[in-house]
């Protein structure tokens, strides 16, 4: 009897030990099997989030480049419009047209903006959204506002885009609003004064004088300005945007002036300083010559323009002026 109990106790101890061993084994097995997927999932999630974050950064950079392309196309379209349909009524109308052309291919002067079919900012951004969806990124955007202004300097305009990016994913989601400011360079853009006033027959692209630093002008600097069709900062002149409305009001920060090359345009008895030439400013005939208007003859000058006395003094070319008979 005693031996039987001892055997039963040994069996009980054995099964207790066995159950403990099995329990320990199950714990080890399941702990191991759970840890590997969790570790893998974390790696996958982190990788996915990293890729999505990079995608947003890429989308933002793509947006900036798209703005530059669309801005160039929009100014080209607006120049063609004023050549065909006349100038805009105000600077505000210029800014409104820029926005509507850039976003919707709509214009105040005509129903569509020439050259912007399929090339608006919306078209560019929609292509990026489509590319994202092709690689299983559920993304979208909302343009909250777009504006153009010129309040910093005469060589650039500021294009300001307020945009919200959306990304929804199994692992993460983004809802990010950005304000992108593009300091768009005007070099190479057609001057609206020339294009609009000549109905598209005369063209001059913006190019800025590297010699003007607010100091004294002379015959050599004037010759460079004239022969190369450059523009200078002119604080009592109109800015690039104002020129789309043919305005002559002053822009202290951003006004520009150039000299019309006499060999490129019809001859006129007026100053070839651009704002005077295109406005057909009149000069009185006094004692057989024009009062306050002179021809300028400088060695190396491509042609002989007429320049008003105020501009002659400003450019430091008094020694090269000659009276014009009338």
- State pLDDT tens for residues 250-301: 999 999 999 999 999 999 999 999 999 999 999 999 999 999 999 999 999 9
What does the alpha-carbon distance between residue 197 and residue 195 come to, in Å, rounded to a whole number? 6
Answer yes or no: pTM beyond 0.75.
yes
Q: What angle do CA 78, 84, 89 make, to 5 degrees?
A: 60
pLDDT in tens, 83-126: 999 999 999 999 999 999 999 999 877 778 999 999 999 999 99
Sign of CA dihedral 266, 267, 268, 271: positive
**pLDDT at residue 38 tops 60:** no
Q: Name the burial class of residue 49, with classes exposed (0-12), middle (13-18) and buried (19+) by CB atoms within 10 angstroms of its CB.
A: middle
Looking at per-residue pLDDT, the higher value among 65 and 173 belongs to: 65
Confidence (pLDDT) at 213: 53
**pLDDT at residue 23 tops 50:** no
Confidence (pLDDT) at 111: 77
Confidence (pLDDT) at 13: 43
Q: What angle do CA 91, 200, 90 make, to 5 degrees?
A: 10
**pLDDT at residue 20 tops 60:** no
Confidence (pLDDT) at 40: 59
What does the alpha-carbon distance between residue 206 and residue 223 come to, in Å, rounded to a whole number? 17
What does the alpha-carbon distance between residue 196 and residue 274 come to, in Å, rounded to a whole number? 13
Separation of first and last alpha carbons in the chain: 149
Q: What angle do CA 257, 71, 125 make, to 5 degrees?
A: 170
**pLDDT at residue 2 tops 60:** no
**pLDDT at residue 4 tops 50:** no
What does the alpha-carbon distance between residue 295 and residue 297 come to, in Å, rounded to a whole number? 7
Count of all residues that appear for the chain in the document: 326
Give the bridge partners for 321, in sequence order: 296
**pLDDT at residue 229 tops 90:** yes
Which residues, in sequence order, are CB contacts of 192 under 8 Å at separation 6+? Answer: 78, 79, 82, 87, 240, 243, 244, 246
Report, as an integer, the average pLDDT of 303-319: 97
Residue 257 sits at φ, ψ, to 5 deg, of -145, 145
Sign of CA dihedral 149, 76, 164, 63: negative
Domain boundaries along the sequence of the chain: 46-185, 192-325
Residues 275, 237 contacting (CB under 8 angstroms) = yes
Q: Name the burial class of residue 114, with classes exposed (0-12), middle (13-18) and buried (19+) by CB atoms within 10 angstroms of its CB.
A: middle
pLDDT in tens, 114-169: 999 999 999 999 999 999 999 888 999 999 999 999 999 999 999 999 999 999 88
**pLDDT at residue 18 tops 90:** no
Q: Where are the alpha helices (DSSP H) in the chain?
A: 2-85, 91-104, 121-134, 192-197, 219-227, 240-243, 274-278, 309-315
Cα–Cα separations (whole angstroms), residue 2 to 14, 15, 16? 18, 20, 21
Which residues, in sequence order, are CB contacts of 198 under 8 Å at separation 6+? Answer: 83, 265
Residues 163, 144 contacting (CB under 8 angstroms) = yes
Which residues, in sequence order, are CB contacts of 188 under 8 Å at separation 6+? Answer: 205, 206, 207
- Could you tell me how far CA 5 lies from the centroid of its own chain? 95
């Amino acid at each position: 009897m005693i031996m039987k109990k001892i055997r039963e106790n040994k069996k009980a101890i054995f099964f207790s030990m066995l159950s403990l061993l099995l329990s320990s084994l199950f714990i080890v097995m399941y702990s191991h099997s759970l840890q590997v997927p969790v570790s893998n999932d974390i790696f996958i999630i982190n990788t996915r989030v990293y890729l999505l974050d990079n995608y947003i950064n890429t989308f933002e950079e793509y947006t900036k480049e798209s703005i530059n392309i669309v801005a160039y196309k929009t100014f080209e379209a607006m120049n063609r419009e004023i050549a065909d349909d006349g100038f805009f009524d105000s600077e505000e109308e210029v800014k409104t047209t820029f926005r509507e052309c850039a976003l919707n291919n709509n214009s105040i002067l005509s129903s569509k903006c020439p050259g912007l079919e399929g090339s608006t900012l919306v078209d560019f951004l929609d292509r990026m959204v489509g590319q994202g969806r092709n690689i299983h990124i559920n993304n979208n955007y909302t343009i909250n506002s777009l504006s153009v202004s010129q309040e910093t300097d005469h060589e650039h305009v500021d294009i300001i885009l307020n945009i919200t990016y959306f990304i929804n994913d199994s692992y993460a989601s983004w809802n990010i609003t950005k304000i992108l400011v593009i300091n768009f360079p005007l070099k190479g853009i057609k001057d609206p004064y020339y294009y609009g006033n000549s109905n598209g027959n005369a063209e001059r692209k913006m190019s800025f004088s590297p010699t003007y630093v607010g100091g004294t002008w002379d015959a050599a600097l004037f010759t460079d300005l004239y022969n190369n069709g450059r523009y200078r900062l002119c604080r009592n002149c109109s800015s690039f945007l104002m020129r789309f409305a043919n305005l002559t009001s002053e822009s202290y920060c951003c006004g520009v002036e150039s000299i019309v090359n006499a060999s490129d345009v019809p001859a006129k008895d007026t100053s070839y300083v651009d704002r005077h030439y295109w406005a057909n400013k009149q000069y009185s005939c006094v004692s057989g010559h024009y009062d306050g208007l002179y021809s300028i003859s400088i060695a190396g000058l491509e042609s002989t323009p007429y320049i008003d006395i105020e501009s002659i003094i400003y450019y430091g070319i008094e020694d090269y002026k000659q009276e014009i008979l009338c």
